[in-house]
Each structure stands twice: as structure tokens, then as C-alpha cells.
Chain A
Amino acid sequence: MAELSYRDAVIRGISQEMERDQDVVFLGEDVAKAGGVFKATVGLYDKFGPLRVRDTPISEQAILGAAMGAAMTGLKPIAEIMFSDFIAVCFDYIANEFPKSRYMTNGQTKCPLVVRTGNGAGSRFGAQHSQSVENWCMMIPGLKVVAPSSPRDVIGLLAASVRDPDPVIFLEHKSLYSIKGEVPDGEIVDTLGTAKILRPGKDATILALAMMVPRALASAEKLATEHGIECEVIDVRSLVPLDTQTILGSVARTNRLFTVEENPRLCGWGAEIVSIVADEAFYDLDGPPVRITTPHCPLPASDLLEDAMLPNVDRIVDRIRRTMGA
């Protein structure tokens, strides 16, 4: 066991996989010699050399296209898109190329690659460097979408993503890079499509992802101590594949569902889960499921405004408390 930051966990995760498999290569802007704009790839260039860790020009289409061509023909590339907002300039690969090639070719074409990208708000970067774009990716058949909330999960889920035979969008939360957590020694490999119950509770289920996970946990603590409401907190971890069973199981016990989403409200992942629960567990519910989200707005830059836009502990606690009639 050692304490590791989320940022260093990215380095360790990539390292672990590159050591294991010569076919794993890594490319992106400023990732090699400079170690990444978030310093989440420091040392990889020195360790694995210029053939396996490569700086690219500012060419997001070339980065993702090259990753795909390499993946189709035998490598297992990890490509970095610096900020997830930039996925918009190379969305063709995310929407049309990676996820459709296997289907269109009747199974001939493979695409085992990982796109790592800095996602989410909290850095006061404004509307084009702060978005949570998981819902841009989740809606596309053929992709897998993963968003870890802890250093341990970064390593385990990154390893699972690299080893997965399908294209995986791996969303690292920029505001979590500096958090620390206990990480076991040795190889860590997790399983995609498994949610984690981080705190048990009998009164309500709270689903969260990435930076909303620590906020959901803090809210649950406050609800328990100040209002006597015991919430079960589930880290969804992987949107595709989605661990519906863990979620339905929890709702069956608590009879209440809250989602905490950083993405803007429309078509957020919580809406999909709420629709599943409504379809399959309607009679387990004691009240309407509630989505706590960022409003349908771009993100502002100032700290005051940005903080007011995102779900925070006060808002989560208040919403759950009022819904539960406490």
C-alpha cells in the first residue's frame, strides 16, 4: 500500500501496461518530453523512449486517426486529447470511425484503443476547457466510456481499458488530479462495467461519477449526521458498459434514487439510468427519481460563478433532504 495522487496513478497505470505489452504505445500533444499539460505523463518518455511515447502536432484528427490505424493493424495505442472539450474537433473518429468499423465490416475490423482525456470543471477555465462530455460519448454504439474517481480506480480501470478489445474513452477528471488515495502494490487490473458501492445506506441511493463522487460522499455524511438520512453512495465508474444490476439492487433496498451529474442536464447519463429504473424497478420506488445536475448552461470562468453552476454538497444535501421530507 502506498499513497498516490490521481495524477501519479495515471503515470503508474500507463507504465504498468507499457511494461506488460510492447504493443502499447502512447501519443498526444506535449505528452512526451514535457510530461503532459497536467503533468500526468511525466517520466514515461524517459522510461519507454521516443518510439513508444510520442509528441504530436496540434492535430487531434491525426492523433485519433493514427491511433485507429495502429489499433486496426496490431498496436494498442493510448491517445491523449488534452482537454475533453477538444473531442469536438475530432468527433468524426469518436462518432463515426472507431465505433462503427467493426459493425460495418461484419466483424473484420478491430479497434483496441484508449482515448485518455482531461474532463470536467473546477479549474476556472471557462466554457471551452471545463466541460463534462461523457454524454457526448455514451450515446454512440460501439464505444465504451469510463470515468474513475480515485487513484486506485485510475490504475485498475485504465489497465482494463487498455486490455479491452473495444475503443474506450477514458475520462480523467482535471480537478481530481491532485487528490490522493491508498493504492495497493503490484499490478492492478479492474473490470469495466462494474459500479462500486462506496458507502452503504438504507434510505436512498445516490449515483455519482468522477468529481461528483467525493461530493456525494460528503453529502451522505452530512445527511447522516445532521438529518438522520442514510444514503448508499455508488460510484458508477463505467457508463458503458453500465452496471445496471448494482444500481437496481441498491434501489430495491433503498427505494429512492438520486443522480449527481456534472454534465449539463439534457441527455445526461442520469436520465438514461432513471429511465432504466422507471422501466424495471418502478414499484421499488417510494418517490420520483431526482436528478441533480449542472443546469442547461455553458460553464462560466469566475470561481464564484463556476462553483454556483455545479452540484455541490449544500445543493445535494438540500435537494435530498427536501425530497425525503426531512
Chain B
Amino acid sequence: MRMQARTETDLINDDIGETKRLELYKTQLVIRDAEQRAHDLFLQNLVKGTSHLSLGQEGVAAGFACAMKHGDLSFCTYRGHAHTLARGVPVEKVLGELMGRDNGLMRGKGGSMHLTSELHGVMGSYAIIGAHLPIACGAAWRAQYKGQKDVSVCFFGDGTTNIGAFHEALNFAVIWNLPVVFVCENNLYMEYTPISDVTAVQNPAGDRASAYGLPKIVIDGNDADVVYREALKAYDRARSGGGPSLIECLTYRHSGHSRADPAKYRPEGELERWKQRDPIKIYRERLAQFGISEKAISDIDAHVKREVDEATEKCKAAPPTSLDILTTDVYADGGYAWRN
């Protein structure tokens, strides 16, 4: 897909602007580089357990996160590294958690599927499909009840639209007019099965919207500008009492479902076609069209690479997670006592 160079008036009327564009680019790149690093570390047997990468889906994470305000809340799935990093959680904390080190975000107690940093508004990564949609409703209810202006943003996959909690949450959010934004990342597959094989409608989220009185919104998830603009609209709607939104973002994961998946079920050529529409490739071209210099872009590239390298070294040097925390924080008193 070729892009036209922007005209003088395009640049003047640009609603996004250079600073935000650089932020969108950098955010996508941090996710890309950190996740590629996570994959490399897995091959070196330094990351145990499972991990679900968002390689190829960075545009969605960056677009929604860069449109948020401080205090807005993200609710993620087990495929949550991207959304966690997009909120500014340091790469070291994320890689440390994946590597089971003491410097990890949860010191090894949660692992890849449960990244949480309340400090950054990342209110958890949930590994039971659909569970966090109602939870995001609850956070939004609190904002509404207390007159607070934050928005709860809930990310999930196409496969999640077929579980009951999705439908319960949508109806609930609409009847209570909650400031929540539901973001479906339609990467065309659940684990290994194409979503179209098991879904009654073509757009798993978009075509369900009307059942809840919501408009059908289906966007290009690989263009961070498109995502960013749609996110701003949804957040404004939520903050101004306009209620929830459901946004389906079309995208594609470059790697398998989880680290164990070679993704052999994909038809030939599909991955290559989507790589033509790699969100980072699209965004580099976008930056160039808006007159941002090669130098500025390569400076960011180098900066991000350095950040990920340094984080990796710190994690390799960090001690393993401590046995002292084995039984802490089961209950609010800090321990696990259930009897006297």
C-alpha cells in the first residue's frame, strides 16, 4: 500500500501533530523490540512458562494508550505485554517478570499472563477469557459514582466475543451508561481456529454492537493514527457521560498464539500479506510523509534498542525471585493465615 506525500495544507491541518506522532511511533517500537527480545530470551531458555506476543498488533496498543490521560485505566488479557508497555511500564519490569526475576513487575508471582501496574493504570491482565469485561464495568461504575473523570479501557480478542461475559458486560455497560471502552483486537484467530469458522457474524464485535444499541465501529488496527483518533472520540464520549463504546480493530499477529505455536494453520501467503501492512512499517512511512527526518526516526530506533538492551542486561544480572514472598499477599494482612 503506497502513501501519498502530504501537502502543505495537510501538515497545517494535522490533528495529531509531531510530538504525538513520535510518541505513537516510539510506543509501537518499544513493544516490538521488547517482545522480540522476550522471544529471543525464550529461545535461550531464560523465559519459562508461556507468553503471548502482540507482534503485528502494536498499532492498537499504542493508539489507545497514547490517547489516554493520566489516571485512565487499562484492563488487558494474557496477551498484555503490549498494553502494559504502552502505559509506560519500564521494559525491565516486564522482562524481569517474564524471566522470574526479583526485579519483575510482580516479582515473579504473576508471570507473563498477569502483568499489572496500578501505578501506571494497568489494572491487571486476565487469563480467563472474558473475565475482565465486567471488571472494567465495575471500575467505570466507581468513576461514575464518585464523579471521577477517568475512563476504563478493556482490551480483548475476537474469540472473546463468543463468551457470555462479553454479552453480559456490554448490556450492563449500556444500561448503566458507564464510561468504559471495549476494544476488540480482531487478529482473525482464537488460539488456532479462525474466528470466522465459529462465529455467526462476519465482524465478531462490530456486528454485535447493534444488539446493545451501540454503533458498529470497525477500524484498521494497523494504522496507529486511525486507532488514536477513534480512541480519542470514545474517551471523549465516555468522559462526557455519553456511555460505552465497542471498537473492533482489524489486525493480525505475526507470531503464533503463544510461544509453543508455530501457527501452521495459517493459509499460505496470509502472513506475508499482513506483513506488508506491518503497523511499524506503515508508521515509519507516515512519519516521513509528515516531514519527520530520517535522523529523528533513527534516533528513536537507537534509543529504544538501547533501552531494551539495558533492560535485558539488568534482568540477566538480577537475582531470581525470592522465596520470602512465596506465601505473602494472599490476604490483605500480607499473609496466608486462614485459621488461628
- The answer, among A65, A106, A276, for a CB contact under 8 Å with B131, is A65
Cα–Cα, bound, A67→B142 (Å): 9
A276: B residues at CB distance < 8 A: 339
Cα–Cα, bound, A164→B333 (Å): 10
Q: Are A104 and B165 in contact (CB under 8 A)?
A: no
Q: Are B145 and A25 in contact (CB under 8 A)?
A: yes
A171 → chain B closest CB, angstroms:
17
A175 CB–B CB distance under 8 Å = no
A123 CB–B CB distance under 8 Å = no
B107 CB–A CB distance under 8 Å = yes
Cα–Cα, bound, A56→B176 (Å): 9
A177 CB–B CB distance under 8 Å = no
- The answer, among B330, B334, B340, for a CB contact under 8 Å with A142, is B330
Cα–Cα, bound, A244→B116 (Å): 35
Cα–Cα, bound, A75→B339 (Å): 27
Contact with A along B329-340 (1 / 0, CB 8 A): 111101011111
Q: Are B135 and A97 in contact (CB under 8 A)?
A: yes
- The answer, among A51, A72, A102, A243, for a CB contact under 8 Å with B330, is A102
A252 CB–B CB distance under 8 Å = no
Cα–Cα, bound, A45→B161 (Å): 34
B152: A residues at CB distance < 8 A: 69
Q: Are B137 and A75 in contact (CB under 8 A)?
A: no
B136 (CB) vs chain A CBs: closest residue: A69
Contact A97/B145 with A65-B169, A69-B136 known, Cβ cut-off 8 Å: no
- The answer, among B131, B146, B330, for a CB contact under 8 Å with A92, is B131
Q: Are B116 and A105 in contact (CB under 8 A)?
A: yes
Interface size class of B (residues with CB under 8 A): 35 or more
Q: Are B332 and A166 in contact (CB under 8 A)?
A: yes
Q: Are B171 and A73 in contact (CB under 8 A)?
A: no
- Looking at the complex, which of B4-12, B117-125, B287-295 is the stretch in contact with chain A? B117-125
B18 CB–A CB distance under 8 Å = no
B134 (CB) vs chain A CBs: closest residue: A65
A135 CB–B CB distance under 8 Å = no
Q: Are B169 and A96 in contact (CB under 8 A)?
A: no
Q: Are A242 and B138 in contact (CB under 8 A)?
A: no
Cα–Cα, bound, A74→B141 (Å): 11
Contact with A along B298-340 (1 / 0, CB 8 A): 0000000000000000000000000001001111101011111
A56: B residues at CB distance < 8 A: 172
A165: B residues at CB distance < 8 A: 332
A71 (CB) vs chain B CBs: closest residue: B138
**For residues 143 through 199 of chain B, which have their beta carbon under 8 Å from a beta carbon of chain A?**
143, 145-146, 152, 164-165, 168-169, 171-172, 175-176
A224 CB–B CB distance under 8 Å = no
A101 CB–B CB distance under 8 Å = yes
B116: A residues at CB distance < 8 A: 101, 104-105, 108-109
B110 CB–A CB distance under 8 Å = yes
A253 → chain B closest CB, angstroms:
18
Pick from B126, B152, B338 the residue with the most CB of A within 10 Å: B338
Q: Are A61 and B124 in contact (CB under 8 A)?
A: no
A193 CB–B CB distance under 8 Å = yes
Q: Are A102 and B332 in contact (CB under 8 A)?
A: yes
B142: A residues at CB distance < 8 A: 69-70, 73-75
B296 CB–A CB distance under 8 Å = no
A170 → chain B closest CB, angstroms:
17
A57 CB–B CB distance under 8 Å = yes
B338 (CB) vs chain A CBs: closest residue: A240
A19 → chain B closest CB, angstroms:
17
B68 CB–A CB distance under 8 Å = no
B137: A residues at CB distance < 8 A: 62, 65-66, 69
A103 CB–B CB distance under 8 Å = yes
B106 CB–A CB distance under 8 Å = yes
Q: Are B131 and A97 in contact (CB under 8 A)?
A: yes
Cα–Cα, bound, A241→B331 (Å): 11
- The answer, among B106, B128, B334, B338, for a CB contact under 8 Å with A108, is B106
Cα–Cα, bound, A322→B67 (Å): 74
Q: Are B172 and A57 in contact (CB under 8 A)?
A: yes
B272 → chain A closest CB, angstroms:
38
B224 CB–A CB distance under 8 Å = no
A74: B residues at CB distance < 8 A: 142, 146
B325 (CB) vs chain A CBs: closest residue: A106
A93 CB–B CB distance under 8 Å = yes
B331 (CB) vs chain A CBs: closest residue: A166
B114: A residues at CB distance < 8 A: 104-105
Q: Are A69 and B139 in contact (CB under 8 A)?
A: yes
A68 CB–B CB distance under 8 Å = yes
Cα–Cα, bound, A106→B139 (Å): 20
Q: Are A65 and B138 in contact (CB under 8 A)?
A: yes
B338: A residues at CB distance < 8 A: 141, 240-242
B132 (CB) vs chain A CBs: closest residue: A65
A56 → chain B closest CB, angstroms:
7
Cα–Cα, bound, A207→B340 (Å): 17
**For residues 103 through 151 of chain A, which have their beta carbon under 8 Å from a beta carbon of chain B?**
103-110, 112, 141-142, 144
Contact with B along A246-272 (1 / 0, CB 8 A): 000000000000000000000000000
Q: Are A65 and B141 in contact (CB under 8 A)?
A: no
B140 CB–A CB distance under 8 Å = yes
Q: Are A62 and B107 in contact (CB under 8 A)?
A: no
B98 CB–A CB distance under 8 Å = no
List 16 A-B pairs, Cβ < 8 Å.
Answer: A57-B175, A59-B172, A61-B130, A62-B165, A62-B172, A63-B134, A68-B134, A69-B135, A69-B136, A69-B142, A72-B124, A72-B138, A92-B128, A105-B106, A105-B109, A245-B340
Q: Which 7 A-B pairs have the closest CB atoms?
A: A65-B134, A69-B138, A165-B332, A66-B138, A59-B168, A107-B329, A62-B168
Known: A62-B134, A70-B139, A104-B116. 5 other contacts (CB 8 A): A54-B176, A61-B134, A97-B135, A106-B329, A110-B332
